Amino acid sequence: MNRNRTNFNSSLIPTILVNPFWLLGFIEGEGTFGLKNFSPYFQLGQHTRNLIVIKAIALYIQSLPKAFTFSLNTLPPNVSNTLNSRTSVSVLSISNIDALYDYLMFFLLDISFQTRKGIDFYLWCLLLHFHKFGHIYMPEGRSLVAQIANYINVGRYSNNPNKGIEPSIENINKVLNLTLPITLKPEMLHIDLAKSFARLIKERNIWVYDNGVLVGYNFFSSFAEALRAIGYSPTSSAARRTIDTGKVIGGRYTFYSSPQSSAN
C-alpha cells in the first residue's frame, strides 16, 4: 500500500463520481483557501499518481452552476493545473475573483464544513467579498484584509509564536458598512471595478514610517519617490502591496495613504 506500491494502473480505477459532500471532504483534507498579495485564490494538490482525481475535480468545478446571477458576464471557473517538479505534486488552482465568488464560494457555503478549515473558508469568503465589491480599495478595508490575512490558516494556530489577532465583528461590520465611491454593476467584471477605483486616484500621497517615525517632513507624491527615499528600487511593488496594511517591509518601513497620528 501507499509508498511501497509501484504499479499504478489508472484504468483499474472505477469512474470517479464527484458529488458535493465527497468534494467537501477532499477540500477539507487537501484544499487551501489562500491569499497572494491579499488576493484570494483556491488551491488543491495531489501527487501526480492521482492525476485522475484532480482531473475529475476540475471538470466538476467547471460544471458548477452560477449562483451569483447579479453579475452578467462572469465565465465558469478556469481551472489551471501546474506541476511542482520537486515534490511531484499536481496543483489545481483558481484565482479569478469573479469565478471564485459567483460559482465556487456559494457552492461551498451551501455545505457545512466539519473541520477547523471552515473558519478559514468563511474568513476567506469575507475577503473575497471585499474584492468583489471594492472594499479592498478603501484604506479601512485594506487594513482589515491585512489583519485577516495574518490570522487565517497557520496564523491562528495555538502553537504559532506569532499568532495573528482575530478580527472583531465590530471592525468587520464597519468595513461592510462603508460608503463605496464605486458601485458594482451587473455588466462589470472585477477588472472593470478595479480600474474604476484606480481612476478615482488623481493624486497619490504616501506617508512612510521608519519604526513608527515619519520619513521626511511630509508625504511623497508617488510610490517610486517613497521607495527611493528609503533606498529601495523605485520599481519595487513593496509599497503598493502593503500600503494601509501596517505590514512592515525590511523590518522597518510601513506605508500609508494618510498621516498616522499614533506614530512618533
Give pLDDT tens digits for 175-202: 999 999 999 999 999 999 999 998 887 6
Query: Which residues lie across from 91 on neighbouring strands?
Result: 45, 82
Separation between Cα atoms, residue 66 and residue 76, nearest integer Å: 8
pLDDT in the model for residue 8: 67
Contacts of 65 by beta carbon, 8 Å cutoff, 6+ apart:
103
E-strand ranges in 120-250 read 207-210, 213-214
Which residue in the block uniquely carries the three cell numbers 495613504? Answer: 257
Domains of the chain: 14-176 (3.10.28.10), 207-256 (no CATH)
What pLDDT, on a 0 to 100 scale, did the predictor assign at position 5? 73
**At a CB cut-off of 8 Å and minimum separation 6, what does 7 contact?**
none
For residues 45 and 90, the answer to whether their CB atoms sit within 8 Å is yes
11-33 as b/e: b if 16+ CB within 10 A: eeeeeeebeeeebbeebeebbbb
Angle, helices 117-133 vs 20-30, to 10°: value is: 100
pLDDT at 263: 47
Which residues are within 8 A (CB) of 119 and not within 5 positions of it... i.e. 6 or more apart? 152, 156
pLDDT of 164: 80
Q: Kindly give the parts of the chain with pLDDT less than 50.
A: 263-264
Quickly list H helices, 1-47: 20-30
Residue 93: Cβ-neighbour burial (10 angstroms; 0-12, 13-18, 19+): middle
pLDDT digit string (tens) for 201-222? Answer: 766 789 999 998 999 888 888 8
C-alpha cell belonging to residue 227: 521607495
Given a contact cutoff of 8 angstroms between Cβ atoms, the answer to whether 259 and 207 are in contact is yes
Q: What number of CA atoms fall less than 13 Å from residue 26's CA on the CB side? A: 20
The DSSP symbol for 32 reads E
Report pTM.
0.81
Grid coordinates representing 117? 478549515
Residue pair 130/110 in contact (Cβ under 8 Å)? The answer is no
What's the confidence (pLDDT) of residue 75? 94
